[in-house]
Amino acid sequence: MEKHQDIKRLLIKIYGEEKGNPAFIKINSLIEKFPVKKERKNGYFSQDDVVLITYGDTLNKKREKPLVTLHEFANGYLKGAFSHIHFLPFYPFSSDDGFSVIDFFSVNPELGSWGDIESTGTDFKLMFDLVLNHISAKSKWFEYYLEEEESFKELAIEVDPSTDMSMVTRPRSLPLLTEVKKQSGEIAHVWTTFSADQIDLNFKSIDVLEKMVEALLYYVRQGATIIRLDAIAYLWKEIGTTCIHLNRTHDVVKLFRLILDKAAPYVMILTETNVPHDENISYFGDGRNEAQMVYNFTLPPLLFYSFVKEDASALSAWAKGLALKSDSNTFFNFTASHDGIGVRPLEGILPAEEINKLVKTVKNNGGRVSYKTNPDGSESPYELNITYIDAFLNKKYKPDIYHAQRFLASQAIAYSIPGVPATYIHSLLGSRNWEEGVIQTKRVRTINREKLQIDNVLLQLKNPETFRSRIFFPYIEMIKVRKKQPAFNPNAAFKIIDVGPKIFAIARYSKNQTIYALINISPMHVSCSLKEDGLPSMFKDLLTGERFAADSLRLNPYQYVWLAVTSV
């Protein structure tokens, strides 16, 4: 009953009495119809939580639906490593590789069916995207808006094109408004944050809110235990403001959290906000009233920078701030995704000249750079478009004998710091830049979205000399070892240790275990010491079984170790 009243109060806060009360009637009706399946047990997070990020059609096989192919591969190769599979948008779409959704309630028939999703859910927990900022211009919903049907009249955000929009934060160098023609002949200019094909939804309309809450609960019915709120930072618009991270946006996240706490308390919210760290963690709210997890967007570019610089100082200084006040929150630690490597999260951490070094490295390694428009009309780097694998290529070595080991060392850091780790399937498979795809689509993000033939992948995995094999099997083994260690619980205590700029070092603590993770980020042999009062004299590497003396640790180029206490 308490959550029931909290939902009502929040709706009235967002919409006022006149609209808030009917909004509550609509939303409460959806909640009352929802069958609560189970309560949350023993906290939200465990060291067993590891997420695979993938498109539904990354792996393909002739005469077989891609979702079936992926499930078969996951059962054969990923069990015991990954607990969750994050299916990137698998709905019918018109552009942006799934993020311009035509129908929120259907599975793209080219990928498979809801039955295929449900089948995967019998072996892995599931994570879905709720693409709630916008909808496809080719959707039925937008068609109904153009026809001015009653519950769709306020679907889009109409703006007079003479309005001063200079304060609006822009993630793209594209027009903010798109001209459309309604069936009546009326011309309107609608808000399109990302592209003309992606019509921003008007959350000031309670009809829009009702439709998106319905989608949220539908995904839970279909087995989702984590809901990713895509592009959430831009949700609420108020002309004369930046239109990013507005209070009403946070209120909508709080509303979704309350709804799930009442209808499905075992389901978590994950917010996707590619922004600087302090802005990003604002979506934790007070620790218990917004997202349980936020994407750790600073990690991918700062980790990349550390290996380019061969200096972990900036990374170590930043990582000291990863402690959270509530055990109901944690970070979603990823290094690669379907998008590129975001640059904005480095604001306030690295000066522009250091960021430009990353831009230069990416271009030298065959990648591209996407730019955003600033309020003053200038442009600055927004995203580095390259596979995370090839970002870690160092062309001064010919051949680069350290390429695979350097990349794996970066992943060992991501799997050592506090949070739930997540791996993009192309990182796991050691995929290189897909130049052909960029040529085909003329979109730079395609470089990191190759469609693979499963037979070719399996053939390469069976050959221990291939690059895929040299990435995949050590990576899987590292994950399996990690899952057994209580000190790697996402909320376990930690301490960043200073053993010199060439090594990233962190201690993780649980009630019955302490692990010292040390990762050499350089191509040199590096020595260090963990000898302090109260520490043991010997450690055992959980990954290899090798023993190390605390006062004379010597790491090979790009070696990574997880050291636990040993009595021998």
Q: Nearest CA to 282 among 238, 246, 231? A: 246
Own/partner contacts of 377-384, CB < 8 Å, gap of 24 or more, are 379/173, 380/343, 381/343, 381/355, 382/171, 382/342, 382/343, 382/344, 383/339, 383/340, 383/341, 383/342, 383/343, 383/445, 384/301, 384/304, 384/340, 384/341, 384/343, 384/358, 384/359
Question: Measured between alpha carbons, how far is 187 from 404 in angstroms, rounded to an integer?
Answer: 55
- Active-site option among 57, 116, 200, 230: 230
Q: Nearest CA to 70 among 119, 129, 128, 131? A: 119
Q: Nearest CA to 88 among 107, 63, 109, 60? A: 107
For residue 399, cis peptide bond before it (omega within 30 degrees of 0):
yes
Please report the DSSP string for 297-316 in residue order: TTHHHHHHHHHHHT--HHHH
Answer for the pair 379, 372: CB distance below 8 angstroms, yes or no: yes
**Angle at which helices 66-77 and 454-462 pack, to 10 degrees?**
20
Q: For residues 550, 551, 556 and 560, what is the CA-based torsion angle, rounded to 10 degrees?
A: 30
12's enclosing H/E stretch is: helix 2-32
531 SS3 class: coil
What is the token pair recorded at 291? 């997202």
Q: Is the dihedral of CA 277, 282, 288, 291 positive or negative?
A: negative
Answer for the pair 271, 290: CB distance below 8 angstroms, yes or no: yes
What is the token pair recorded at 41? 């047990």
Question: Measured between alpha carbons, how far is 178 from 318 in angstroms, rounded to an integer?
Answer: 40
Q: Nearest CA to 558 among 407, 352, 448? A: 407
User: What are residue 257's phi and psi, to 5 degrees?
Assistant: -65, -45
- H-type alpha helices, 320-364: 352-364
Q: Is the dihedral of CA 306, 312, 313, 319 positive or negative?
A: positive
278's enclosing H/E stretch is: helix 277-281
Question: Measured between alpha carbons, how far is 401 from 399 in angstroms, rounded to an integer?
Answer: 6
Based on the residue annotation, tell me whether 230 is a catalytic residue of this protein: yes
What is the token pair recorded at 94? 């018109």
Angle CA 292–295–300, to nearest 5: 155
Question: Measured between alpha carbons, how far is 302 from 499 in angstroms, rounded to an integer?
Answer: 19
The catalytic residue positions are 230
